[in-house]
Chains A and B, each alone.
Chain A
Amino acid sequence: MKTLNDRYHYGLELFLLSIDEGITGYRDDSLETVKRNQRQYDIPLKILSYDELYGWTMDAIVAQVGKKNNCTFCGVFRRQALDRGAAILNVDHIVTGHNADDIAETVLMNIMRGDIARLGRCTSICTQGEDTIKRSKPFKYAYEKEIVMYAYFKKLDYFSTECIYSPDAYRGHARAFLKDLEAARPSAIIDIIHSGEAFEVKEDIKATQKAQQVCKRCGYMSSNELCKACTLLEGLERGMANAAITDRARKKLDADGPVPDNLRTIPFFYMPPGLRSSSYIPVEAPP
């Protein structure tokens, strides 16, 4: 982005935004790389941590929930953290480094867990919701291998280590499966992306999906009264971490009584002025 912005005078004001999940031995090391990148590219850097946003680090979450469902917490918290970090920086566009392998994995995961809403939009290069900042994945069609080769030959300073908590069984299975598919036929990754672009959710199913609303506690977009992050955080704070993961645990949490007054909550989310769009806009891939 830096090279293209300079070479073609895009006129973009670039910022680096990094989320610190609080994983000792993984994120603390990678943040050192990020800080070097800041100096190398001379771009302002904002590091936003789970600890300052949610009051919990992933190390603390794993200590409470174990290694079984921790990716659920991390994924939900990171998505919000990126939007909140972008709002703090007052930017109007977030660009992430998701590659073709990531997209193909997401297509498979969304089918296997029945997440119709995300399945319908996960292959769009650009997405923008009414209450979220525009996001793009410019490496959507670039294989992980190609990106690694580019970084290697260009001698880029990058960090490449698997998260120490990543052996979450379900996603781990899907990732290993995708690697097997790629070994059997390298085009499998782009073929899955093509499949993801070639179908859509039926109109009658779309009509039954919950309307987007705003979380009554933190102001972030949500399909329920409480957003997923607030539900997860409430479960953590009240010592019932599975509350947002299973229906049974959620009922148990509700039966446990009303929300305590002193419950820690996520700061209220305000969209930067001038960034609100009129509706959800999935920007399509090439036809």
Chain B
Amino acid sequence: MSCGNPTDAEAVMQRRPKHDKTKICVRCKVARGNLVIRHAVYCKDCFFPLVTHRFRRALEPSVNSKPDGPRRTALKPSGNLLLGYSGGLGSAVLLDLVHRCYIAFDRSTMQTDGGRDHPRHERVWKKVTVCYVEVCDAFPGMKDRSAEIAEIVARYEDFEFISLRIQDAFNRTWWEKVGGIPISSYLGVSLAKEDLVLTSHSSPSTPLESLHTYLSSLPTPTAVSSSIQTLTRLLLLHTALQTASSHLLLGTSLTSLAISLISGISQGAGFNVREEIQEEWAPDGTEENSARPRGKRRVRIVRPLRDVGAKECAAWLWWRGLSVVGLDRRHASGASLGIGELTKDFITGLEKDYPSTVSTIVRTCGKLAPKGDVAGLCVLCERPAQAGVQLWKARTAIREPVFQDTPDRGEPDAPLNSPPSLAPHLCYACHATLTSRRGTSRVEQPSVPLPVWTSVSPILEMEYARGKGTALPPPGMARMAEQEMKAVVQEFLLDDE
């Protein structure tokens, strides 16, 4: 056969039946079903309460400062609410659900018991802000959608709207506007070697130029995608602080969560599996000079659609007559696929034949905890970094020795005369993002600008101040000449024949 399809029927997996037993809705047991969700059939009338219930069940136990089990008491968050909106499937459903449940108080989303003055009819968050980060400037040829997004958000009453651009991550004006510590000097980094030597980036270009320099210096398409995700996440988090929000809600569906978990694990972020599901974030400890209000410096990131699959989100939008603005980035950029996009293709493909896999991935990852000591926050992604990352790398691969580790990171003492290095202050995944290559060499920039929050990181300022001396290896670890190295490994070398 020219098409290569196997002729042996047994060689191909048999398609599993779409539903298990009956075509009648499993909830009301009366109406004929309209949608199959993981082998169970639901009618349209039962579908909306089902999704609303899953949404509330995932969100409400996390609303009060002290997270607890299924809620029985009033919801009293310690701050306002920020919604991250990308215009995509999940965030469109999120916007709609938050508005119906907590702004419009749609009766169909509530339990029927209790009177008109029941506490659940009180407003939970005083102020709800929607934040959109426009990423079109990162990809040539991508359409700017901020106007469309603003129009969609304006359809919902009582939502405030903030539109950011991805280059704001390099924008001093934005940083100071959100209450960040004033920047005295900019830091850059050289991506030429794995120790990532810190440089002074004395003449900052425009934020857009800095973004382009940063992205074009990254070694792989995977690094570009994951960097944009990290920058977007940090822009949202700092905006949450600015708006005095105690909660940041993201429209990550069950499917998207499974994708980001597998993608993160494939990029070495196993230590942060817990944060990928639910995260409690506070900016790096010492913000004494910050203009932000004290006591409101913690943001809880919640993904209330984590039990709702992409298929259910699509059905919700379709039946509610809502639209999606987001566009797959790869079509706009035309770039080769990175790990994120490959994982997305893999998981969505797998979900068709094995609908339970996505839920299994999320449930399995929910049973995991980070292993080992935390060595502070990664200065780039501001998530907990595992201690001893650079030592692990040195032990498991043939690579250049990294001398600049500090005791805080669970590494050997840094010598006073080694160059200032970014590597010991990064988590494994961020270090891999900046250093892991695919063979093809890129034009090396002597100094790549770093996002604004890294320039005010006290630990990096100390590192930079410490390492201004001459680069020399520590005592006992003097660099060897090539012939010396060859002599040491002589007996392991293969014959030239």
Contacts and interface: CB of A to CB of B under 8 A. Distances in A.
Chain B binds chain A? yes
Interface of A: 66-68, 107-108, 110-114, 116, 119, 141, 153-154, 167, 169-170, 173, 177, 180-181, 184-188, 190-192, 194-203, 205, 285-287
A110 B350 CA distance: 15
Given A110-B364, A187-B436, 18 more contacts: A108-B265, A111-B364, A114-B360, A114-B363, A169-B13, A177-B342, A181-B339, A184-B339, A188-B339, A191-B432, A192-B266, A194-B392, A194-B428, A195-B264, A199-B271, A199-B369, A287-B372, A287-B391
B371 A200 contact: yes
Interface of A is mostly: helix
Contact of B372 (A188, A190, A198, A201): A198
Contact of A195 (B268, B336, B357, B437): B268
Contacts of B221: 184
A246 to B, nearest CB: 12
B265 A201 contact: no
A150 to B, nearest CB: 8
Nearest to B368: A199
Q: Which 10 A-B residue pairs are closest in the complex by CB-CB distance?
A: A195-B270, A191-B268, A198-B270, A198-B271, A169-B13, A187-B436, A200-B371, A195-B265, A286-B395, A199-B368
Contacts of B346: 173, 177, 180
Nearest to B496: A153
B interface bracket (residues with beta carbon within 8 Å of A): 35 or more
6 contacts: A112-B364, A114-B360, A170-B354, A181-B266, A184-B222, A286-B392
A93 B265 CA distance: 31
B368 A286 contact: no
B25 interface: no
Contacts of B26: none
B425 to A, nearest CB: 17
B494 A154 contact: yes
A184 B368 contact: no
A200 B368 contact: yes
B368 to A, nearest CB: 4
Nearest to B394: A286
A185 B361 contact: no
B7 interface: no
A286 B397 CA distance: 12
A201 B368 contact: yes
Nearest to B338: A184
Interface string B271-312: 101000000000000000000000000000000000000000
Contacts of A184: 220-222, 336-339, 342, 438
Contact of A111 (B14, B262, B372, B437): B262
A20 to B, nearest CB: 24
B225 to A, nearest CB: 10
Contacts of A108: 262, 265-266
